[in-house]
Structure 1
Amino acid sequence: MRAGEFEPVRGVEDLYVHDTGMFDTDEYGAVYVYDAERPIVIDTGTGANREALFESVEEIGIGREELGWILPTHAHLDHAGGAGYLAERYPNAEVRVPEKGVRHLVDPGALVAGTKSAVEEQWEYYAEPKPVPDDRIEGVAEGDRIDLGDRELVVHDAPGHAPHHAVYHDPDADVVFAADAAGIYVPEIDAVTPTSPPPQFDFEQCLDDIRLIEELDPDTLCFGHFGPRDCDADLLGEAKRAYVEWVERVREKRAELDDDEAVVDHFEAASRDIDYWNPERARANTSLNARGVLTYLDRVDSEE
């Protein structure tokens, strides 16, 4: 896929995936549009390329008065940064996000500051988020259900990537919207890589989140980065191995170098992400992931 394009998700009726062109990179950021009886947009992108998303929603056949739900999987701005813009454009849509994310979408100031600190020069690819009116948004938690009229989504907490992260399960269609809970899927190499951003990445909980998806046993897994993929034990086993190996590599390199900036520099230089993403995005992704693991290791050490 290319930035701004959308296509049907194979095997799931009425579901579409839209490529946001996030960070000027094809096949990196996905938004899902479910043309159900009460249509829903799952995740929103950064908000920077929102006009292309609006066009996709219109081409799918969903009018401005018809969208029923806006459902970020979590409050990170690459998934929820467009929520306020969508709420403005679609006046009848209700916004739902995991409970710990609600305050960040109503008043995004602290989240913006944290994001700018984490992504540094990559902030140029974000839109300044528009607050979601507090009378348009509510939190969701484990076991809650989103009524789409002819189907429903079941909420499952998945806080390994961030405390405000959930996955959404459509049991009738056997599809799970995993966001970042099972890592990043790279279509070009048909492989899963970890995502471990600071400051709240929790390695053990990430493994539990993948086990949760195993228990749900979907036919289709919809990654936030990037796209839908047939789901099987091999895929989820690969995801777990990727996290285990990544955390151990960072742990070992820290012990060897005893300098966190040198650790980050090492992994930036060694990263193969440049093979399938633009160089700027590849460096930024590797830096964030390394810093997230280092922060996690500090937290674990402090608790011992």
Structure 2
Amino acid sequence: MAIGDCYPVETGECTDLFYLDTGMYDTAEYGAVYILAGERSALIDTGIGRHYDLILDALESVGIAPEELDIIAPTHVHLDHAGGAGYLARHCPNATVVVHERGVRHLVDPARLIEGTKAAVGDQWQFYEEPVPIPEDRIQPLTDGDVIDLGDHQLHTHHVPGHASHQVVFEDPANDAVFTADAAGIYVPTIDAVRETSPPSEFDLEQCLSDIELLEDIDPETLLYAHFGPTPTADRLAEYADVLTDWVVAVETKRQQVENDRDVVEHFAENTSMIDVWGERKARAEADMNTRGVLQYLDGRSE
């Protein structure tokens, strides 16, 4: 799948559903958004802000004019998921933006979100567009258990705060699928495996493992990853619980072996196995960010 491609999701029982490669970080098969084209239409996640025109083109390609889009649904307000929300809200004037209640203020005034993102992603900020504020009257706050009615589909909201306090996943019972946000890790189609995601500043291992258990209780047939693409659930959630636990242990062990945390970060950035998949720039930046998130989590756990 190449940047800009939009395909129907044909995994499991999914219908009325499409996914687009947004070209996040100029890397193919890293960032996806999903379009539900049912009786009422919804866009799940909005990408990084750059290339939002690809999303508008994809909506048109599946028969949804900008003024016909009903719902814009970022799974959380990290800018790789919500960075395009303001741009798309401007172009889709009748759409309601739905987001967890803890994220509303950051979409209305993204100044603190920009500051936190720059600290978390470092040099990757070059790929972002500064987010556009969204008028509060365009935003519907969500809490755990809320249901977004799309007619022949519903999005059931489940709060999963291990990755971020404002993160939710959306369950679509009609498709027996869940839009996973970052709660199920990063799915890498080319190697058919999941990888860790543990960025600063809110990553919490124990809560992430509880979030995985919640997904296992929902027991969907299909997982719809923002990073990246649809896949049968099968044993994927158990796989991720092991990957995430092993990752934290690896960072903690390396911290005990070297003189300072900068050496820990450099070790994992220099030895990442993802260079052949994402390219050197993105792979090293991803490892750097995820290592810093674990180190911050370990600091908090020891306090």
Q: Taking structure 1 as the reference length, what is the TM-score of the superposition?
A: 0.98
Distance 1:55 1:63 in 2: 9
- Per the alignment, residue 209 of structure 2 pairs with 207
CA distance in 2 between counterparts of 1:193 and 1:50 reads 26
Specify the alignment match of 1:38 in structure 2.
40
Give the Cα–Cα distance (whole angstroms) in 2 for the partners of residues 115 and 89 of structure 1. 24
Distance 2:254 2:231 in 1: 32
What is the distance in 1 between the residues matched to 2:108 and 2:151? 27
**TM-superposition CA deviations, 1:39-71 (whole Å, max 9, x none):** 000000011011111101100100122100000
The amino acid that maps onto 1:245 is D
> Does 1:109 pair with 2:128?
no
Paired AA for residue 40 in structure 1: A
Take 1:275 and 1:245, find their aligned partners in 2: how far apart are those partners? Answer: 22
Deviations 1:132-190 (A, max 9, x none): 11110021011000011222110000001000000000112100000100100000000
Which amino acid counterpart does residue 130 of structure 1 have in structure 2?
A: V
What is the aligned partner in structure 2 of residue 13 from structure 1? 15
Superposed, 1:242-253 pairs within 5 Å as 242-253=243-254
1:240 equivalent in structure 2: 241
| Counterpart in the other structure of 2:279 | 278
Equivalent of residue 155 in structure 1, options 154, 157, 170: 157
> Match for residue 146 of structure 1?
148
TM-score, normalisation: structure 2: 0.98
- The aligned counterpart of 2:197 is 195
- 1:258 deviates by 3.5
Provide the secondary structure at the position in 2 that maps to 1:163.
Answer: coil
Cα distance in structure 2, aligned partners of 1:4 and 1:109: 29
Q: Percent identity?
A: 53
User: Secondary structure of 1:160's match?
Assistant: coil
Q: Deviations over 1:221-272 (max 9, x none)?
A: 001100110111x211110000010000000000111410000000011100
- Structure 1 vs Structure 2 CA RMSD: 0.7
1:128 corresponding residue in structure 2: 130
SS at match of 2:66: coil
Looking at structure 2, the residues matched to 2 and 141 of structure 1 have their Cα atoms a distance apart, in angstroms, of 35
Distance 2:66 2:238 in 1: 41
Shift of 1:36: 1.3
CA contact (8 A) 2:56 2:66 kept: no
Give the match's secondary structure for 1:117: helix
Task: Note the C-alpha offset of 1:289.
Answer: 0.4
The aligned counterpart of 1:226 is 228
Ranges in structure 2 where 5+ consecutive residues have no aligned partner:
none
The one-letter code matched in structure 1 to 2:5 is E
Distance 2:92 2:241 in 1: 38
Residue in structure 2 matched with residue 2 of structure 1 by the alignment = 2
**Letter of the structure 1 residue corresponding to residue 214 of structure 2:** L
Counterpart Cα distance in 2 of 1:8 and 1:47: 23
SS in 2 for 1:58: helix
Q: Which amino acid aligns with 1:241?
A: D
Cα distance in 2, alignment partners of residues 214 and 117 from structure 1? 33
May I ask how many residue pairs the two structures share in their alignment?
Answer: 301
Contact 2:185/2:197, CA 8 A, preserved across alignment: yes
Distance in 1 (CA, whole Å) between partners of 2:145 and 2:247 is 31
How many Å separate the matches in 1 of 2:144 and 2:76? 14
Separation (CA, whole Å) in 2 of partners of 1:106 and 1:31: 22
Aligned residue type for 1:260: D
